[in-house]
Amino acid sequence: MKSEGIRDGVTFGPFLILNGKSATINGDGGKGRGPRTAIGQRADGKVLFLIIDGDRMLGRGATMKEELEIMERYGAINAANLDGGTSTCMTVGNVLVNNPSSLEEGHRSRPIASAFILTKDNSNDGDHTVVDNKLN
């Protein structure tokens, strides 16, 4: 992979939209309602992140089909579901801005293997302290 210039990688799925073609999702997608995280890209190259809170106490959450519809609404030509539940976390300026939860684990985040960290410039020296204690 290094010989091809690839530095990092992440797995995710299912794909919701691929090359402008939306996936066919039957019913709710088979996973019911819950917290969701998705990543997508518009035709102009902009990357979209979608964070949806939800469980029986917080509200509805979303189905896979609803997640797909939201990404379509924001112009995604490629989009995929990421992990949900207590992995659905978003921080801005070292502050957790959503309420990660799952029926099994309550209201808290959990250790994760990877994270998307966005900075204001093209440097690779962003402040990772928000997730340092969560990365495995």
* Domain spans in the chain, listed from the N-terminal domain onward: 2-132
pLDDT band at 119 (very low <50, low <70, confident <90, very high): low
What value does the mean pLDDT take over residues 26-42?
84
Task: Look at residue 132 and give its three-state secondary structure.
Answer: helix
44 or 12, higher pLDDT? 44
Q: Does the pLDDT at position 80 exceed 90?
A: yes
pTM over 0.85: no
10 or 82, higher pLDDT? 82
131 or 95, higher pLDDT? 95
